[in-house]
Structure formats: structure tokens, C-alpha cells
Amino acid sequence: MITEKGGKPRSEQFEQNELTIGRVQGNDIVLPKGNISKRHSRIVLRDGKFIIVDLKSTNGTFVNGKRISSPQVLKDSDKIYIGDFTLQLEPKPGDKPASGKNGSAQAEPPLPMDEPPGADAAEKLFDDGDDGDEAPHHSGAADELIPDDEPAMEPAIPPRVPTPAPAPKPRPPVVEAREELPRQKEKPALAAKKSAPGLKPPPHGFRVELPPLVALQARGAVFLSVSKALSGDAGLPPDDESSVEKARAVVDKTLGSLQSKLKGANTDRWAEQIAAELTGYGPLTELLEDPNVVEIFVNGPHQILVRRAPETSSVGIPLTPVSAYFSSDEAVALVVRRMMHAAGLKFDAEHPVAEARLADGTRVNAVHHAASVKGPVVTISRTSTRQATMAELVDEGWLSKGMSDFLTVCMKARRNICVCGGPGAGTGTLLSALAGTIDQEERIVLVEQVARLKLSQPHVVTLEPRPVRGGPSATSMRELVANAVRMRPNRVVVHEVNGGEALELSMAMAGRQDGTLLSTYASTARDCLDRLETMIRMAGIDVQAKVVREQIAASVNVVVALTRFADGTSRVTQIAEVTGVEVDLVTAQDIFTFKRERLDDDGHVQGRFQATGSQPRFYEELQRRGDHVDVGIFREH
């Protein structure tokens, strides 16, 4: 039986050993929906077993809700999900196929993996699934690429007709559906927790099978020719609805004129993909709409890798390749130019390096192919800072209860705290948790390299630099920090201090701006104080080193060092109080540390937080004022 979403089931019977399923006529089972590939799946009867094979479809074939990546033996109770349809096989009464001992399993007999008889050559040429993929080119550059006397492109593997093996009397499969699988083409909301499967990753390593070289060159030539014809302001084709339709029409016409030379390509698929590159973000569109994708790496036009959010917070997240790719270097550059244009940035051979933040906070860094051997290189990061409380971090083992209590007292006593750690250590998470202890009535000015922290207080102002390369409207972190102090804040929070802003911040903290929070990259308290000194001395002021060190000692009260271990966990490994200057060093006294002891059987770091026995000097002042503080947390254990 076959059941369409929201429809009534229908029953079909067949006598042959093999059935094809797809969107177009010519298949044994026709499912006329847009989220079904032309030739989507195949069911084969082999040695008394029904076996389902996915024909490299775009949206995949699912058995009992799980996407299959290789031929799979079916049990009587298995349900097949294809787009909006659910199918179930029922053998002829009294003629039941054998089931595997363990239920659905990988098919043991070898199966023919090429397309069924009559499949388009394009579906053998490209691996994107639905209708094959890519292969044209255009007049001018395209005609030079594929001369008239050059034979038309042939598929990498010519289709062949599988020879059915001797088998028992055919058993008519009947398809039935009782459950529905959500449409795989639907775009997930950015706030969704789980996305549709989307672009499929190839099964082995980082290698993605690509069309023949002549096909890639032809598609690139078509893209280049059409993009020149459609270029608008700033060299960008417009992206409104009418322009998208126009781009599709121009691409269709261009490909139509080359149809005789591109017999192996599916021009409908090409037209859709090239139009998406001309008027949008091309193959990046679906990835950007998937909330589980946190990083995207484009290494030239023909390799795209993604990093997805982990289901657990254990070990580092691996990179996964996707089967989508761009038409050419120029296609990647055009998509990046569109991203940069909204931020007022240029991206071309004269401006080969650019970095910007999109409207949703996504950070994009790109290197033009004029400065990259492998082609354009794009790094897209959507990692957002986690919002957690100090209590939650204690529960998760980031720090001990005594450490948390001490830092909370520091915040209430308006100590200036510097949080340091390496990339990925979680400095933003800890900074956000510390800022969460600030009173609701206080005015907070937050300055970030990229706006990611979201504080819960009602009176928060967030400032972000605008790095317009070479333009008069550029705004630096240093300017923003200097201006933040003039905005009459109760607190200033600066995330990722990496340059001359360290001077402005230290001057403010050494003056009347107490209770300030800042973060920077350093692995220990010693490294952090040295790095602050280096940044201040490189800020363009002519002052003796001794004066700079005294300035740091007067401005920073407490340093908190975070470490991300190899098992993926983050811990506060050091809390130190800045005590002054001796000779040529800003001195600090450890208050708490983390002692690493061993690795457990699962490779997780085991250790313990411990107090050093030293009591912070400012606690004496708090006690004199009559404030109740627990000094028991500083006793050595």
C-alpha cells in the first residue's frame, strides 16, 4: 500500500522482481511530488528477500525513520518513507519472503548500484541525487570550452540493465503506509533544535565524488557568462523575486543553446543551482538555515565541510563534508561579495581578505582566490556564547562551589576581573555567568568584537566595532571602549580584548570605573598579565615599562584562567589576586587552582579543585566594613 500525507491509502500489485520509484513517468511507482527525485529508489527481490536501494536521491530514502546509505533487507513490518509518502510491502498471501535474523540488515548479496534502465545520463554524471547535477556552458567562454567537434559528455559509468538472478516465483509487493515522515525539503526555523537531514554527507572521509572535469568547467563557464549579463550594482545580480525568475530564464536559455553538447547533464538541475548562486547564497543557503550547523568551511569551489552542534558536550566535534559544491571560483566570490556588501565591505582581487558579521550574528571570514592557491576560502561561524549561571557551571564541573562563592563576592565588592583562556575554552560563557550576578538596576555597557553575549539585565547597551577596511566609517574596539566609559555606565564588560583597547580599559579601571569585567586570550594568570602589558605598550604611547606595570597592578584585581582539556571539558584552573609590582613583573598570588590527577577509562580528565590557603587581601577591608564573608573557603584541603 501507498499512503500520501493527508491522503487515503492505495494498493498496487506487481509481478516483476524489481520496481523503481520516482517522480516521473517510466517508474513502476510514480510519486508526483517535488520532494521526490526523478528516480528515487528501487526495490529488488533477491533470494526470497525484498531489498530497498536508494538511487542517490536528494532527500533520501528512510526505513522505519532512519535514512539508508546502502542496500537494506526489508522485513514485513518495515515502513519505507519517501518524501510525503509511506510505503509498506506485503507479500502475496502464502508466499512470504524470508526475514533476516536481526531484522533490517545490510544486504549480503551484491546489488547493482547504477540507475535502472532508461535513467538519464545526467544522473550518472552527478552525485547530488535528484535529477543528477551540473554540466553546461555558454556561448563565448562556454563555446571555447566545448568545441563543436568535441563529443558530448558521457556519464562516468554508463547505465546497464541488471540481470535478475534466478529466484523463486515472484512475489507481488504491495505498499502500505500508516505513518508519515516530515517533508525533507522544508526549511527548519533558525530556532529549531533539530533540523531536517538536508545535504547528505558522503560516506567516506572528506572525499566527495564530483562530475567529470569537462562538466565542472562547462558549468563554471555558464555561470560566468550569465553572471556578467545579469550584474547589477556592485557587480551583484539583484536578488528580488523577479530577478530570480529572470536569472533562471537566462540560465535556461543559455543551457538550451548548448543542449546538444551537454547530453550527459541535467540542465533543469543546473539552472536551479546556478540561479541560486547568482541571486542568493547558492549551496550555503540550506546550511545557513540548518540550526545544527555551527561552522561552515569552503575550501575552494568543490569542497564544503561543516561542523554540527554535538548532541552531548563531550569530545570535540568532527568536520563532515557535504555533497554540494559551487560552479567555480567566481561563484564562491559572488556569494561572498553578496554577504560582504551588506556590511559595507569589498571583496575582490584588490581586497582579497574580508571579515563581516551577518544580520543574525553569523561571522564570515573570506580569502579571495587571488590570494589563495586552492581557490576562495570561506570560514563561517555561528557559534554563540552559551548563557549559563554560576550555579549551573558549578554543577557541570567548571569550578568548585568555593570558587563560585569567591567570584560572586568579587562582583559584589566591585573588583575588576579579567577572565582568560584559549580559543574554545569558554571565556565568553564564564564572563556571561559573572555578568549575570550584576544587580538588575545597574547600567551595563557591553563591548564585543562580535556581539554574542546576551545579558538578562534590562539596562544593557551592546557596542560592536565596524571594520570597514580602508574606509572613513570604520570603528575600532579601542574607540568603542573609550566611548563606553563616557556613557556613564555602572559596569563595563569587554569581551575579547586584543589590542589598543587594553590601554583605554586599564586607564578607566585604574580610575573610577570599578566592577569591570574583561576577557582576553591567555592560558595562565602570568600569561594574561604579560599579554595586557604587551597590548598596552603596543598602543602607540611613549611610556616606561614600569609605569605600564603599575597601571596594570592598579587596574586588574583578580585573574581567572580557564583551560579546555583534550576530552572537551572546560575548567577554571587558576584564580589569582594581583598583588603589585616587583622589579619587572606584575605579581599575583594564587587563591584557587585545579590539580589534574589522571585520565579515567573513558579518556576524561580527573582532578580536584583546591584552595591554596592564601586569603585575598581585600577580604580584610570587607571585614573591617562589617561585610559577612566566609573565609573558610580558603583553607587548604
Q: What is the pLDDT of residues 498-509, one digit of tens each?
A: 999 999 999 999
Residue where a domain terminates, one of 324, 353, 381: 381
What distances in angstroms separate CA 140 from CA 93, 137, 145, 243, one per listed residue? 63, 9, 9, 23
Q: Are residues 578 and 432 in the same domain?
A: yes
Tell me the sheet residues that pair with 42: 20, 53
Q: How many residues does the chain have?
A: 637
Structure-block grid coordinates of residue 447: 563591548
Q: What is the mean pLDDT of residues 266-293?
A: 86
pLDDT, average across residues 547-557: 94
- Residue 603 exposure: Cα atoms within 13 Å on the Cβ side: 7
Q: Is 32 within the bounds of a domain?
A: yes
Domain limit, last residue, from 88, 114, 148: 88
Q: How many helices (H) and strands (E) does the chain have?
A: 15, 26
Give the model confidence (pLDDT) of 398-429 as tens digits. Answer: 999 999 999 999 999 999 999 999 988 889 99
Residues 494 and 606 in one domain: yes
pLDDT category of residue 95 using cuts at 50, 70 and 90 = low
Q: Are 432 and 405 in contact (CB under 8 A)?
A: no
Could you report the per-residue pLDDT of 573-601, keeping only the tens digit for each?
A: 999 999 999 988 999 999 999 999 888 88
Same domain? 444 vs 538:
yes
* Residue 193 within any structural domain of the chain: no
Record the cell numbers describing residue 138, joined without a space: 555558454
* Domain containing residue 44: CATH number: 2.60.200.20
CB contact set of 472 (below 8 Å; sequence gap of 6+): none
**Is the domain of 433 the same as that of 549?**
yes
One domain for residues 31 and 10: yes
Residue 285, in any domain of the structure: yes
Which of 61, 88, 115 corresponds to the end of one domain?
88
Is the domain of 251 the same as that of 357?
A: yes
Does 418 lie in the same domain as 294?
Answer: no
Span of 43-52, 587-596, 608-617 with lowest mean pLDDT: 43-52
| Predicted confidence (pLDDT) per residue in 104-116, tens digit | 334 334 333 333 3
Structural domain span for residue 538: 390-467+474-634
* Nearest alpha carbon to residue 3 among 175, 173, 185, 172: 175
Scan for cell 587571488, then name that residue. Answer: 370
**What local confidence, expressed as pLDDT, does residue 473 receive?**
60
- Considering the chain, what percentage of its residues have pLDDT values greater than 90? 37
Q: How many domains does the chain have?
A: 3
Domain of 328: which CATH number? 3.30.450.90
The beta strands (E) that lie in 166-299 are given as: 293-299
The answer on 354 and 432 residing in a single domain is no
| 585 and 438 both lie in a single domain | yes
Is 142 among the domain residues?
no
Average pLDDT over residues 603-614: 91
CA geometry: angle 48, 52, 54, nearest 5 deg? 155
Residues 75 and 43 occupy one common structural domain: yes
Residues 60 and 33: beta-carbon distance below 8 Å: no
Alpha-carbon span 377 to 447, nearest angstrom: 29
Assigned domain for 189 exists: no
Q: Report the b/e string of 158-195 with b at 16+ CB within 10 A.
A: ebeebeeeeeeeebbbbbbbeeebeebbeebeeeeeeb
Residue 174 has pLDDT above 60, yes or no: no
In a domain, 128, yes or no: no
Considering the domain architecture, whether residues 499 and 371 belong to the same structural domain is answered as no
Put simply, whether the predicted model's pTM sits higher than 0.85 gets the answer no
The answer to whether position 39 is within a domain reads: yes
CA–CA gap between residue 356 and residue 347 (Å, rounded): 11
Look over the chain and give the mean of its residue pLDDT values, rounded to a whole number.
78
Which is more confident, 352 or 246?
352
CATH code of 615's domain = 3.40.50.300
Percentage of the chain lying above the pLDDT 70 cut:
75
In a domain, 583, yes or no: yes
Q: Are residues 357 and 246 in the same domain?
A: yes
Label the pairing between strands 293-299 and 377-381: antiparallel
User: Order of strands, edge to edge, in the sheet holding 293-299?
Assistant: 319-321, 304-308, 293-299, 377-381, 363-367, 353-357
